[in-house]
Amino acid sequence: MSSLDDFRREKDEFFKNNRQSPLDVEQKSQFSGLSYYPENPSLRLELTLERHADPEMIAIATSTGEERDYWNVGQVRFKVKGQEAILQVYEADYGYFLPFSDATAPAETYGAGRYIEPEELDGDRIRLDFNLAYNPYCAYNERWSCPLPPAANRLKVHIEAGEKKFHE
């Protein structure tokens, strides 16, 4: 069993049994696990963060109509099945934040998008592991307010890795 399998099993356990789960009591009673794409090593990337000379504070709209402020610190470039993709990387109090949507939405993944928390490596390098892409809590029920991916982070390519949509 891979470390990704272990991670997913622990996440399912958290969703089913933890008080801080995004699921309500009824959802927990019927929960049998999240749906994921098979592990895709080609979507585990180490990339150069092209830092913006003057990072800009931007307001990102949420699923409930509010706004949250994030620093737009730079961008990353990579290829998926031969197509170039560019994503903006944001910074919050807890570290890097990358909300995105792709061509798998809304048929296979949550229509409003998914998240990744890039891992900082040496220098200006970061790791983006799309196998760890996850749904925001608002994908599970409406009591949550979640930042929506800005237009710059809406990809036309299919990112077939990570979490799939929770329900129709």
The full set of domain ranges for the chain reads 1-34, 39-153
Span 146-168, average pLDDT? 94
For the chain, the first-to-last Cα distance in angstroms comes to 30
Helix (H, G, I), strand (E, B) or coil at 80: strand
pLDDT above 70: residue 168: no
Averaged pLDDT score across all residues of the chain = 95
Predicted model pTM: 0.93
Beta pairing class for 67-80 and 50-61: antiparallel
Q: Rounded to an integer, what distance in angstroms lies between the CA atom of residue 131 and that of residue 110?
A: 15
pLDDT of residue 129: 97
87 pLDDT more than 90: yes
- 34-66 pLDDT, tens digit each: 999 999 999 999 999 999 999 999 999 999 999
pLDDT-derived band at 1 (thresholds 50, 70, 90) equals: low
